[in-house]
Amino acid sequence: MTDSKKSAVILCTCGKQLGLDYGHLSSHLEKHELVSSVIVHDTCCQPDGLDSIVELVDSNDGRLVIAACTNQKIQPRIDMYLRTKNVDPSKIRYVNIREQSAWVHGDKSEATLKSLDMIKGAVAASSISQPLHVQKKTVPPHVTVVGGGIAGLETALSLSNLGYEVVLVEITDTLGGHVLNLPVVAPTGKSGAEVMKSRLDAIGKDNRIQVMTNTYVRFFEGEMGNFTVHYTSDGKDGTLHTSAVVMATGFKEFKPVQMDEYRYGKNPDVLTQYELSQMITAGDIKKPSSAQDVKEVVMVQCVGSRSEDYKRDCSKLCCTFAIDNAIELKERLPDVNVRVVYMDIRVPFENEMIYKKSRELGVDFIRGRVSMVWENDGQTRVKIYDSLMNQYFEVPADLLVLSSAVLPSDGLAELGETLGYMIEDDGHIKELYGKLRRNETRRRGVVAVGAATRPQFVFEAVTDAQAASLVLHNELQGGAIETLARGAVLEVDDCVGCSLCAQQCPRGVPLMIEQTESEEINPEQKLIFKASIDTLNCHACGVCQSLCPSGATQLNFISNEQLWAEITATLENAGPDRPITLCFYCEECAVSTIDIAGIRKMEYPATTRLVPVPCAGRVSIIDILKAFENGAGAVMIAACETDRCHVGGTGNEIAQVQVDVARDILNAIGWKGARVDMFRMFSAEPQRFIDAISEMTRRASEFGPTPVHNGEAGKWMEVVE
């Protein structure tokens, strides 16, 4: 029975606790033309249930619909069990009749009807399921690290230890970056040079690491597994091929020349905190203007940081750096007076003890701001407002040291244009997800480490580098990539070259490839560029599919045909008397929110039918209109919260656009546009889903039968406001 489209159906009773009418479900499904057999099982997640599933998958060419609790809970168990039995689980489809039906509807006959409709939808999609396969791909075990500071060095060493060839590109003529010039590194108190020494030695001895100094990267081409780096080294242009890229470009210290109040750049005795570090490391602490001894030092915190005009956020490191340098000055020049003018002293964890030590050494901390700096007879003078005493006072300064903001290094935005990562509001490289995926960027195969992403202490940059190496190792798997090819598949012949997929893919996977051969075949209608998608790089959200005007790119587990078949079958019983709300929900935040609402047994109307999609961005205008065409009274999309799309960041916003356009279309053809809407889900707040779906069912009944129900669809109508 290899070419049968029929699926087996297993109905789970959850230990006979769900209260649905299984007799009704079985008798209807047994008669269904696309169902081969129906089994009712009490616990299909338990060993005997799993064995039944193996049997059913085996005897139905993989086509099985499991109607049970949330697939988020049982699917991994079933998948793993089937794999141990060498049975392919990829064609199985799940319907959640527990959290999405039995547990949330007091009226069990309504819940049974809803379950039946959703099972029929899954059966329809199952009838045209394609199996997914594990595929292998070999890529060179080669990574390029951009930036030779602490984070870059540590990443290069870690990757080398994991078996990768590494090219380390450094724009200056020496490795080591900012850390080399730090007199002390908090909290251990060692000098930057000491911290760097073992790493610099190791790099020198490591045959797998090739160092290129005096080299800057101009731009990139390609994708994970096949990047080309275009660089200029010692004035000569060159290229190299690599499988992944590490951005370790560090930071630059803000030079406050525009801030007239501090006279930086005009008065040589005014310097930045890092310039003071360099002076201390060089061992020659003198007044730059006169080479005289230093007796009076004033440090100013938050220069450019926490300021609406320059950098809005805190630079995190400056308080600790200032205190480190203040202690160094006190220890090297016992007679020196050090005053630190601050807004809040911010020294995390153990650095508090360094703050305490500095006060014990006599460093004076003044809460307030510097209001004016001027020179009098070669002597710098500073007027300070003390907010605790509510007083102004004036002090001399041999050195005025500005704790200047930590900014990203230059050129990040330009490299991002070809490498495909995003930039934060503050100019640093934007992480894929601030809580769990800090090293990854929007683009697959590109990670960022160290101060390229945010100000980081030395030990944090080291940890970051080690973690990022693991992230890349997980992606490249040593060069022999083996993964389930679950994602977008492109039919190149159908591609019209519009490039929407390449522009909008949240992970930057589709590339536009120049078509050199097509010119010869048909010069009249030549397409100069066509898309190319590597399914193994795809994160399977379906944004490209919902945007593709020609259906050229489709997810291999939820094709257009499959989703439309599911919509049609689910809505078979929708009619004028039963206003049905169809809810597309993403299998990220929305599925969790809906599941939690289920676990908490929060009631909502049973005239709802739920259809899963991997990401809200998978739902196209056509999909929404298909639902109305098949009799839906209202359509909603449940998606992740704004800015928190789980599949790369923008799937939910693309869905919002589709919903907005669908609403405009409905309004334009004389329907009520409010029949379609989108809602943001959040699993800690399950009430959001209850409110959203209750609102849509209310609209469905308030607006009454649609033109489809009334048989008026497709006919000319007067628009009535």
Contact set for other proteins, span 52-71 (CB under 8 A)? 69
- Give min distance, CB of 219 to other proteins, in A: 27
Find the shortest distance in angstroms from Cβ 616 to other proteins: 13
CB closer to other proteins out of 221 and 313 = 313
Site string for other proteins, 269-308 (x = CB under 8 A): -------------------------------------x--
**Least separation, in Å, of the C-beta of 343 and other proteins?**
9
Under the binding rule (CB under 8 A), the answer on residue 454 touching other proteins is yes
CB of 460 to other proteins, least distance (A): 8
Q: Which is nearer to other proteins, 51 or 344 (CB)?
A: 344
Pick from 36, 129, 158, 535 the residue near other proteins by CB under 8 A: 158
Number of residues that bind other proteins (CB under 8 A): 95
- 424-443: contacts with other proteins (CB under 8 A): 426, 432-439
Given candidates 35, 203, 401, 462, which one binds other proteins under the rule CB under 8 A? 462
Q: Does 97 bind other proteins (CB under 8 A)?
A: no
DSSP H/E element including 667: helix 651-668
Q: Hey, how many other C-beta atoms are within 10 angstroms of the C-beta on 265? A: 13
> Would you count residue 353 as binding other proteins (CB under 8 A)?
yes
What sign does the CA torsion over 433, 439, 440, 443 have? positive
Among 518, 683, 694, 701, indicate the residue that binds other proteins (CB under 8 A): 683
Does residue 313 bind other proteins (CB under 8 A)?
A: yes
Stretch that binds other proteins, among 395-403, 511-519, 589-597, 700-708 (CB under 8 A): 589-597
Say what the alpha-carbon torsion angle 343, 348, 354, 357 is, to the nearest 10 degrees: 60
Q: With binding defined as CB under 8 A, does residue 206 bind other proteins? A: no
Cβ-based nearer residue to other proteins, 47 or 235: 47
Tokens read off for 82: 């089937």
Near other proteins by CB under 8 A, which window of 255-263, 324-332, 585-593, 666-674?
585-593
The alpha-helical segments, DSSP class H, found in 283-411 are: 318-332, 351-360
Interaction of residue 188 with other proteins, rule CB under 8 A: yes
Nearer to other proteins, 202 or 333 (CB): 202
Determine if 42 is a binding residue for other proteins (CB under 8 A). yes
Burial class (CB in 10 A: 0-12, 13-18, 19+), 417: exposed
Per-residue DSSP letter, 711: T
Asked if 23 is part of the footprint of other proteins (rule: CB under 8 A), the reply reads no
Region of residue 291 (phi > 0: left; psi between -120 and 50: alpha; otherwise: beta): left
At 685, list the tokens. Answer: 């707040």
* DSSP count for the chain of H helices, then E strands: 19, 31
Q: Is the dihedral of CA 607, 613, 617, 621 positive or negative?
A: negative
For 249, 351, 401, 404, 619, the CA distances from 189, given in Å and listed in that order, are 25, 11, 21, 22, 56
For residue 714, give Cα distances in angstroms to 111, 635, 706.
33, 19, 12
Amino acid sitting at position 437 = R
Residues 329, 331, 335, 337: is their CA dihedral positive or negative? positive
Helix intervals (H) in 16-107? 22-30, 47-59, 71-84
Q: Which stretch binds other proteins (CB under 8 A): 9-17, 51-59, 119-127, 706-714?
A: 9-17
Q: Is residue 163 part of the contact set for other proteins (CB under 8 A)? A: yes
Length of the chain: 721
For the bound state, the minimum distance from the C-beta of residue 604 to other proteins, rounded and expressed in Å, comes to 16
Contact string (CB under 8 A) for other proteins, positions 541-560, x = contact? --------------------
What would the x/- binding string for other proteins be over residues 107 to 146, using CB under 8 A?
----------------------------------------
Contact call for residue 344 and other proteins (CB under 8 A): yes
* 8 Å CB contact between 494 and 486: no
706 three-class SS:
coil
For the CB of residue 16, give the shortest distance to other proteins in the complex, in Å: 7
> In the numeric block, which tokens belong to residue 700?
């469905």
**Phi, psi (deg, nearest 5) at residue 58:** -60, -45
Q: Is 45 in the site for other proteins (CB under 8 A)?
A: yes
Binding of other proteins at residue 73 (CB under 8 A)?
yes
Q: Is 364 in the site for other proteins (CB under 8 A)?
A: no
Which of 5, 24, 28, 190 touches other proteins (CB under 8 A)? 190
Residue 460 within binding range of other proteins, rule CB under 8 A: yes
Residue list 633-652, contact with other proteins (CB under 8 A) = 641, 644, 646-648
208 belongs to the binding site for other proteins (CB under 8 A):
no
Closer to other proteins by CB, 251 or 264: give it.
251
Q: Judged by CB under 8 A, does residue 77 bind other proteins?
A: yes
Can residue 474 be called a binding residue for other proteins (CB under 8 A)? yes
Q: What is the b/e burial string over 634-656, where b = at least 16 CB atoms within 10 angstroms of the residue's CB?
A: bbbbbbbeeebbbbbbbbbbbbb
Alpha-carbon Rg of the chain, whole angstroms?
32
Query: Counting contacts by CB under 8 A, is residue 312 touching other proteins?
Result: yes
Among residues 80, 413, 528, 717, which is the contact residue for other proteins, using CB under 8 A?
Answer: 80
Question: Which residue from 340, 384, 402, 540 is in contact with other proteins, where contact means CB under 8 A?
Answer: 540
Q: Which residues contact 31 (CB under 8 A, 6 or more apart)?
A: none
In the complex, the smallest distance separating the C-beta of residue 365 from other proteins, rounded to whole angstroms, is 10
**Binding-site string for other proteins from residue 380 to residue 409, where x marks contact by CB under 8 A and - marks none:** -------xx---------------------
240 with 142: CB under 8 angstroms?
A: no
Q: Which residue has the tokens 């500071």?
A: 149
User: What distance in Å separates the CA atoms of residue 633 and residue 699, rounded to the nearest whole number?
Assistant: 8
Round to whole Å and give the CA distance between 266 and 16.
Answer: 83
- The label of the residue with tokens 């724009």 reads 171
Candidates 115-123, 190-198, 265-273, 515-523: pick the segment binding other proteins (CB under 8 A): 190-198
Segment near other proteins (CB under 8 A), from 274-282, 560-568, 591-599, 671-679?
591-599
Pairing between β-strand 399-404 and β-strand 270-272 as defined by DSSP bridges? parallel
Sheet strands (E) in 525-675: 529-532, 553-555, 581-586, 608-613, 634-640
> Based on CB atoms, which residue is closest to other proteins, 266 or 356?
356
Q: Catalogue the E-assigned strands of 79-120.
A: 93-96
For the CB of residue 475, give the shortest distance to other proteins in the complex, in Å: 10
Tell me how far apart the alpha carbons of residues 690 and 594 are, in angstroms, rounded to a whole number: 9
Judged by beta carbon, residue 121 or residue 450, the one nearer other proteins is 450
The pair of structure tokens assigned to 584 is: 């597309």
